[in-house]
Each structure stands twice: as structure tokens, then as C-alpha cells.
Structure 1
């Protein structure tokens, strides 16, 4: 590798050195070893990860950190940290989560363990390697490289909020950010979660689709009744519920309830998605070409449109069926939605739809949802980030107006009022949330370079970008 010819190149080279020397792998291995499952109830490892790992890592970078109790009853703790250089400099807020989903230890492939990093070719296996320990480890290591290259100064201030309950819906995150709004104030939000569009293409996304779960239940009578003696005169709740669901979504996945459909995809979003192809990775499932909204590309269906999914359904006992008409049926469903959807009136939309279609016996229970968010594609921070990523990699980054999945971006975009930039360091086939979770070593290395370049460029151009955005906002308000 040639010697770095500019200070920026030196910062990137130092980030690569952290990977090539094994230092990054050692740090990530130590972090994966924390059993930070949040889905099994109270877990002391969650607080330990913050106090013994994240706080120490940030202290070495010059941060002052403190633990904040969760305002949600029984909720896991938060960490807030700050590295302040000057009141006259711009400030970036970053984020990560230390919790992971269940280990599912017995389901991992032979030779693999969720709490111990294992290398197999380019794959690094371990629970949290992709979500989210590997991702925030990249951002910390890249920040360290830039600090070293700049002689201990960044040229901006950095604030951090860390949670340990993202995998259980981020309880208390919004309330905590609202209560500490001044301490978390910044000019821009930059963080990492989720996958790239493909392993080989660096990606920037500006928000996420929202998600709202709901249950459909049908309770027709007490107890089951013999299907031979009563079949033909007793309505079957499983059949009724199947027809009710079919009235919501047609056989090809098109949403039939007008109130649950999004506004048309804008020209700007369509242009951003025009060169992004889903399902390119070797382990990706085959796309069903005729599933979903007609007239849209697969990428537009996932990123720019709404989807209604049945996550689980049950009537009777599928594992031990008996010759009886079951008394009840239940389905757990979910709407993933983009900005502009009337999701807050979902209960009314579903109730009205079922009444109009004669399914008045189907009861609807809508749970708390997560709003959809999307930073304006013309925001000055967007082009700045794309230019930085392109300068580091020589590749054209993929720009996603929003992630197809859901992250708690509404807290940062709406509650804190920040422009939000997400740079994911994983890839679609990483087995996130499943056994055999892993990251790809080449993606980790490239991501270290991308983030070192971005953290460097923030020191060079951040003040100008922040000033330009503030001036535009003043114009827009007049």
C-alpha cells in the first residue's frame, strides 16, 4: 500500500491499521462476549456493557460519560457522553445500542457460538457482530484514527447516546432524549445500524419506514365442537379470519385498504432508488417478481412503499389437531409504512374496512407504532456525506431515502430535531436476529475507512455545512 500523501489519507490508513493489526477484531471479540440479551427480562450484562466497555472506550477518546436511568419502569439503562472542544465548533450526535436479540445458542451451526467470535473465511461470526456491536465498534475505531491523525483534536464536538433496549422497542429512549434535549443538542446526527443494499456497495440512508403491529382476533363460542356433528352449521373462525385478511391484502400482496396505502413515490425518491438492486448477495432469498404493489420495482416496493404482513396466525392446535371446529382464531400482523401514511388512524381504517366488508366479528387491536422518518434528499448534509464516501472508496454510494426496516430515528429526527445520516456497516445476508449472525471482514475494513474519511471531513467542512443549512432554514421560515 502506498504511503498516505494527505492528512486525510493518513487518518484512513490508521483506521485500516486498526483492522490489519487485529486490534479491531480483539475489541469486537471482547464486546461480543458480553451476553447482552435484552429480550429475556432484566439482565445485569446490559449495565456492565455500558460501564465496563463503552465508558472505557469513550474515556480513551476523551469523552466524559454518565449512566442515565431509564424512565420506563424496568427499562435498561442509557449512557450519555460528550467530548467538547469548543463552543464555537459544530457538534455531532452519534448513537449505538449494546443489547442484542436472544442468543439461540443451540441453533447455531456446529463449531459456532453466539458469545465467542469465530472466523470462517471472510465471515466473522458472533451475536451482535452485525447488530450493533460491530457497527458502533467501527465508528469508535475510526474516530480514534482521526484523533491520532489530527494530533488529539477533531475540530468539532461529539455527543453520544447509547441504549440497551433497542431490540425490545427502545423503551424510554424518546423520554430520555426529551428530558436531556439540551445535553444532546447537535448540528447533525450520524450513526450506523442495519444493512447496506449489498455487501460491495457503501450505503447512506436518511430515515426508516415506520412499523405498527396489530392483532386480529375472532372469538365465536366457548370450546370446540366435533367437525362431523357440527361441520356445515357452525362458522369456522379460521376460515372467517382468512377471508378477513384476504380483504386487506390481495393474493399478490397488494394492500387493498386505501387508508393504509402511502402517497405516490416522488420523483426524487424514484431517482435515488433507480440504480439500487435488491437481492444481489449470494445468501439473499429469491425475490418473488409478482409480489407486492404492481408497477413498482422491487427496490421501490421495499423502500418507497407500504407492506402489510401476517407475522403469525393460529386456530386450534396445529401441532396436535383434533376433529373439532375451533372456537377462536388469531393473527398477528404488521404494517411497514413510509412518510405520508395515515398510520395514526389505523384502528379507524381497519374497523371501517371490516364493517364495510361484513367482518364485524373480527376484533382489531392496534399496538404502539414507530413513526416513519426521512430527511430531505436535498439537505446539505446528504450531499456532503455522499461526497465523502465517494472520495474514500471511489464507489458511487447507494442513497436510500429510508431504510426498509425500522430504527428509532424518529427520536433523533423529531424529538431532537436533527438531520439524520445513517451509514450501515452490515449486509443483507448477515443473519441479523437469527442464528449464525456474522459480518464480512472486507465490509468491516472498508467501513473503517469510510468512517475515518467522514469523521475527518466533518472537521474540515462541518462548520460550513451547518452554517449553510441554518441559513436555508431561516429562508424557509420567512
Structure 2
């Protein structure tokens, strides 16, 4: 089947309402990974949705126990056509977040509803709608060609929303099962609703707790003011020594060693919607600050009761900060570096703790899979595809680059305003339509003219 006919089928699949109907069935499963009822729903989602979908693609499907008891099971589908063909690994996560408040217009999170171009429902954007689009694209290619033209492996996890416990260990244990030449997956948002986007990795995240616990309760501000150290003032000064009032990081060890030229060139034409030009390092463009550099953000800050203040110096003040960092940053000594920095500036009384999340990672911009994918997408996209070395948030991309040694290509089918993790999460119908066209074109190109595939992207320079 000619590629244009295949892409016409992709558009028709959305326009006919078929994709909406399928997604409604997926949204109905309340697959919340940190709830007991959610774990039962996840098992049903595996058995009743994903296993039949993978079987229909000609995959042998196996379920695997998570080596980490904090995480749920994994599902793997494998279709092998020929040892001479490249092998594609796809990824998705079956779990969703729990509820974060009431939805507008009395909407039920577990019932897909349409309001204009917005398809509301929990998991529509993160991640059921995205992996459904990829499964549908694979199905269209297989039906149109009679074969994929490549080997397929599809991995589903069930704990991405709680930090992917056990995923790295599982990948290390099952390297042969998951061995492939390239990862193509979909998660996170594209640059904006109108711009097709390809990103190659993710920033990492580390939470930093600061605690100034000095007195067993409040002390009258008139009787003690001027002679008793104030924990809140101390904490404010400590934070300002880490990141100033304009968002500029003050600790060199919290920054990457450089902004690679290839990353800067890739971001040269990327426009970030509505940036605050007074925030962050003025030497960098908004795109470089968001996708190529590190940021230190204050997530929460507390001392006493801000809604009912009394005339007392608080006994304790606390804050939680987050370092979002790019690949190449040395984060092995974050806690001692911060303690040393604060002590040198007169704040030895500030306690520092750290908690690591996803690690930063990205496939080098110069990897041949990147140029291949960008060319294939640009041939069918209505406007040039934005290439991001990594997106701003966190994903378990390091499992695929560092553990499995794969080039990673992320083709997101959502957009920044999707209300992911919040009430009224939704998928935009035009983005879903274009996403299905792009995914179908990319999989068809892989079956028709793959690049000379490389097993290890690390040999390619930034």
C-alpha cells in the first residue's frame, strides 16, 4: 500500500470516531498505581486491553513480576519477522495518577467526554491516549503492508507515575528480551499544540529539603526580636544564596559543565511560548534555559501559619526545592556540596537532605537515528518538526540509553496545556490526528528504509 493511502487511513480512523471509541474503553480502567483498587484495574487493563492489542499485532505476550515490590508488573510483546531486520522497542505506561480535585462541568475522570476538540478523561494525555496512537499506527502499517518490515518489542510498565520502581532492574535482568536497535515512544508534551516535536531524552530531577529547626516553639517577636535567630529569615537567606530572586543558580556545582554546540544549534529555532524574559540566566535563550540547562526551583516554603500569623518568631522553617538538570551534570555530591556552600556563607544551621528522581539522559543529536527520524517526519508534517535534545520534565529515558544502550526517539502526542496530573486532563483531537499520521509515517519508514542501525548511541558526539 502506498504511504499516502496509509496516511489517509490514519486520518480517517480519527475522523470516523474510531480512535475516540477505543480510547473511551481505555480511560474506563482506573489504573492508579499507588492505590490497591488501581492495582486490580491495572491487571484487568493488561488482560483485557493490552494483551489483545499486542496479540493482534502478532506478538508473543508475557507478563513479568517486578523485581521491586514497590512497583507493579511489566508486560512485554515480541514480534520477530527476521534477524536481518532492525528491531524496534516501544514503551508505554499503563498507570495514571489519582485524583487531584473536582473536574469541571461535573465530568467523570473515568468517562471519556468530548467538548469541541478536547477529549477529557484521566490518562487521555498521560499515557493511554499516547500509547493507543502508537498501537493503532503499528496496526495500520501491519494491515497495509502485510508485514511490519522490522521486528517489534513493546514494553509496558505500571509504575511510571510513582517513579518507575524496578524498571531499571528489570531492564538489566532482561537485556536479551528487550534487545533492540532503537526506542520509539510517546509521552510528555510537544513544544506547543501546533508544532510536531521529536525529543531525545529528559532532564533529571532531585528534590532538596532544607530545614531550619532552632527553637521549641514560637517566641514573642517584641521580647525576642533582634536577639534570637529567626528560622524563616535564615531560610530565606539560605535559599537566596542558592538561587537568587531572578531564578539564577548561584552554586556552580549545580550547573552542567557546558552547553554543547550541537544542543545550542538544535535549539536555535525553537520558540518557547510566553517566556518571562526577566527570569533565569540572561546569557541563555528561553529554549536553552528550558531544554539545555539546569534550574533550581522552590516547590514549597513554610514557617508558622501564614493564614493566621501571630506576633512570634517561629521555631522552625522548611522548604522543598527541586534541581532539574540535564545530562552531563555531576549530581553525585549534591547534598555535601550544598552543606559546604551554606556553611561557608554562615548557614551551618540549615539541614540539607536530597531525594533523587529520574536521572537525566539523552541520545546525542548527531546519532544517525535522529536525522533519519526527523527526515521521515518532515516529509509528512505540515510544518517543520521541532527537535529538542531533551524535554523539560522527567521520564525513565536513562533505562533505555544507559541500561539497554539504545538511541531514544520520543514523539509526543500531547501538548503543554493538557492538564496532565490535574483535573480536566484532556487530549486535543487535532494533535491526536496529526500524531497518528506522524507515528504511522515513522513506522512505515522504518519498515521501508531504516538507517544503518547502531547498537550503541554513546559513540556519537553531541
CA 1:238–1:263: 2 relative to 1, 3 Å: same
Structure 1 residue 294 and structure 2 residue 289: aligned? no
Q: Secondary structure at the match of 2:45?
A: helix
Is contact 2:364–2:457 with CA below 8 Å preserved after alignment?
A: no
Deviation string, structure 1 residues 293-343 (Cα, Å, up to 9, x no partner) = 112111111001100011112111234433332211111111001122111
Is contact 1:207–1:403 with CA below 8 Å preserved after alignment?
A: yes
Q: CA shift at 1:61, angstroms? A: 1.4
- Structure 2 residues not aligned, in runs of 5+: none
Residues 255-274 of structure 1: matches in 2 within 5 Å?
255-274=249-268
Deviation string, structure 1 residues 408-466 (Cα, Å, up to 9, x no partner) = 1000000111010000011111111111111111110111110111110101122x421
Structure 1 residue 74 and structure 2 residue 67: aligned? no
Q: Determine which of 412, 417, 437 is the counterpart of 2:405.
A: 417
Q: CA shift at 1:21, angstroms? A: 2.0
What TM-score, normalized by structure 1, do the two folds share?
A: 0.92
Q: Secondary structure at the match of 1:405?
A: coil
Is contact 2:242–2:249 with CA below 8 Å preserved after alignment?
A: yes
Q: Secondary structure at the match of 1:333?
A: strand
Q: CA shift at 1:261, angstroms? A: 1.3
Q: Which deviates more from structure 2 when the two are superposed, residues 317-326 or residues 128-137?
A: 317-326
Q: Determine which of 86, 91, 95 is the counterpart of 2:87.
A: 91
Q: How far apart, CA to CA, are the structure 2 residues paired with 1:324 and 1:394?
A: 62
- Equivalent residue number for residue 204 of structure 2: 210
- Equivalent residue number for residue 149 of structure 1: 144
Deviation string, structure 1 residues 389-416 (Cα, Å, up to 9, x no partner) = 1111242100001111111100000011
- Equivalent residue number for residue 38 of structure 1: 33
How large is the Cα RMSD of the aligned pairs? 1.8
CA 1:118–1:475: 2 relative to 1, 3 Å: closer
- Structure 1 residues not aligned, in runs of 5+: 1-5, 280-285
Deviation string, structure 1 residues 70-113 (Cα, Å, up to 9, x no partner) = 11123222111111112222110010011111223x52111422
Is contact 2:205–2:360 with CA below 8 Å preserved after alignment?
A: yes
Q: CA shift at 1:472, angstroms? A: 9.6
Q: How far apart, CA to CA, are the structure 2 residues paired with 1:308 and 1:232?
A: 31
Q: How far apart, CA to CA, are the structure 2 residues paired with 1:21 and 1:471?
A: 41
Q: How far apart, CA to CA, are the structure 1 residues paired with 2:270 and 2:441?
A: 23
Is contact 2:367–2:460 with CA below 8 Å preserved after alignment?
A: no
CA 1:332–1:264: 2 relative to 1, 3 Å: same
Is contact 1:11–1:148 with CA below 8 Å preserved after alignment?
A: no
Q: How far apart, CA to CA, are the structure 1 residues paired with 2:205 and 2:36?
A: 23
- Equivalent residue number for residue 102 of structure 2: 107
- Equivalent residue number for residue 452 of structure 2: 465
Q: CA shift at 1:274, angstroms? A: 1.3
Q: CA shift at 1:370, angstroms? A: 2.4
Deviation string, structure 1 residues 132-164 (Cα, Å, up to 9, x no partner) = 11100110011110011012x111111111111
Q: Secondary structure at the match of 2:4?
A: helix
Is contact 2:405–2:455 with CA below 8 Å preserved after alignment?
A: no
CA 1:116–1:179: 2 relative to 1, 3 Å: same
Q: Secondary structure at the match of 1:335?
A: strand
Q: How far apart, CA to CA, are the structure 2 residues paired with 1:474 and 1:229?
A: 66
Structure 1 residue 240 and structure 2 residue 247: aligned? no
What TM-score, normalized by structure 2, do the two folds share?
A: 0.96
Residues 309-324 of structure 1: matches in 2 within 5 Å?
309-324=297-312
Residues 390-409 of structure 1: matches in 2 within 5 Å?
390-409=378-397
Q: CA shift at 1:165, angstroms? A: 0.8
- Structure 1 runs of 4+ with >4 Å offset: 470-476
Q: Which deviates more from structure 2 when the two are superposed, residues 248-257 or residues 228-237?
A: 228-237
- Equivalent residue number for residue 131 of structure 1: 126
Deviation string, structure 1 residues 329-374 (Cα, Å, up to 9, x no partner) = 1111110011221112211210110111111010111112422112
